[in-house]
Amino acid sequence: MKFIIDWVARVLNDAQTVTLVLLLAVISAGVLLFGRMLAPVLAGLVIAYLLEGLVRTLQRLGLPRQPAVIAVFLGFSVFVVFVLFGPLPLLSRQATDLAQKLPDMLLRGQNYLASLPEHYPEFVSSEQIAQLITMIKGELAGLGQSILSWSVASVFGLITLIVYLVLVPVLVLFFLKDKARLLDWLHQLLPADRALANRVWRDIDQQIGNYVRGKFWEVLINWAVCYVTFAALALEYAMLLSFMVGLSVIVPYIGAAVVTVPVAVVALFQWGIGPDFYWVMGAYAAIMILDGNVLVPWMFSEVVDLHPIAIIVAVLLFGGLWGFWGVFFAIPLATVVQAVLKAWPRAAAGVAA
């Protein structure tokens, strides 16, 4: 007990540590309490943070700040328009077509399972298959109710999407254009004695920036490579499956394993067990191996090395707190925690920044 009291006393006697704790508490509480309401603002801030790297690159090439912001923003707008009128409609059509064919695929899968006891009686029995089919039907019934609920709420989702399409680009433009003014205003609100907080931020700023920008490009590269590969192999729903593969890299280790299932299922129902199925799965495995052993080490060489257990715990924890954005930022947030823990002993010991 005395140890805890002494530790709290040391923390409270160090103004820089108190400042750091208060800043972390305020930011965390703000995201938890107002994250959904301020989602467009947070999305705009994240995108502006992504685009800031391109703005700085143009500035290093000699272009003034404001023309660089305009050029990057126009490029971002063109990219958004391309996605909205290019891959997005194809994704929607393939998702709709797959949903329509899903009952037939499920029936074929059920018939295949029912035939297993005849071919492999020493491994499975009819009772086990019947229990498995009943369990799958129950899960599918729950999934169907979720899809129905989502379709009822789709009108509100469409309204939200329209709001995002209008607000987010405007916010991105102002975040980039008025960056210096906003930072000056923010500095006026922060305590003067914040050297420790500044040091922690400097430690994590480059790490987070590299990670978020690198992850964005990793998603696009995997999406493009998988689409070209699946289309060349004539796999159905190539755009939809490649998009899922691209998004899967957001969740390290877990994502690739999960997306393997729909890729294998579609290939299996399209061709059955045969050369075409093996070609698709082999190509997919090769892409994942190249991503994990070539692309990721090259793009994330400057990111803090985290143990796989720490990454999985971060994905589960922050994903449970903040959903998709928590999963996306799990590793950057884990980096923040690591940076704070590294600085904390020095702060607790009263070391000046």
Q: What is the C-alpha separation between 112 and 118, in angstroms, rounded?
A: 11
Determine the average pLDDT of the residues in 5-27.
Answer: 65
Q: pLDDT, tens digit, for every residue of 61-89?
A: 888 988 999 999 999 999 888 888 888 88
pLDDT at 249: 83
pLDDT(279) > 90: yes
Number of residues in the chain: 353
Residue 77 lies in a domain: no
The pTM of the whole model exceeds 0.95: no
pLDDT(138) > 70: no
Residue 127 lies in a domain: no
Residue 351 lies in a domain: yes
Q: What is the C-alpha separation between 249 and 260, in angstroms, rounded?
A: 12
Q: Which of 44-58, 109-123, 229-243, 249-263 has the highest mean pLDDT?
A: 229-243
Kindly report the average pLDDT of the chain as a whole number.
76
pLDDT at 311: 72
Inter-residue contact 13 to 350 (CB < 8 Å): yes
Q: Closest by alpha carbon to 300, among 203, 220, 209? A: 209
Residue 247 lies in a domain: yes
- Percentage helix, strand, coil, to 5, in the chain? 85, 0, 15
Q: Closest by alpha carbon to 35, among 49, 27, 164, 212? A: 27
Pick 136 or 249 by higher pLDDT: 249
Structure tokens at 22: 């208060």
Residue 82 lies in a domain: no
Inter-residue contact 244 to 258 (CB < 8 Å): no
Q: Which of 189-198, 200-209, 241-250, 315-324 has the highest mean pLDDT?
A: 241-250
Q: pLDDT, tens digit, for every residue of 20-29?
A: 677 777 777 7
Q: Residue 244: which domain range? A: 193-353
Q: pLDDT, tens digit, for every residue of 282-317?
A: 999 999 888 877 777 776 655 556 666 777 777 778
Question: How many helices (H) and strands (E) in the chain?
Answer: 15, 0
Number of structural domains the chain divides into = 1
Structure tokens at 72: 């990057």
Confidence of residue 139 (pLDDT cuts 50, 70, 90): low
Q: Residue 125 — left, alpha, or beta (φ > 0 → left; ψ -120 to 50 → alpha)?
A: beta
290 sits in which H/E element: helix 275-290
Residue 295 lies in a domain: yes
Residue 268 lies in a domain: yes
Q: Which of 26-35, 111-120, 283-292 has the highest mean pLDDT?
A: 283-292
Residue 122 lies in a domain: no
Determine the average pLDDT of the residues in 258-284.
Answer: 88
Pick 126 or 11 by higher pLDDT: 126
Q: What is the C-alpha separation between 338 and 332, in angstroms, rounded?
A: 10
Q: Which amino acid is it at 333?
A: L
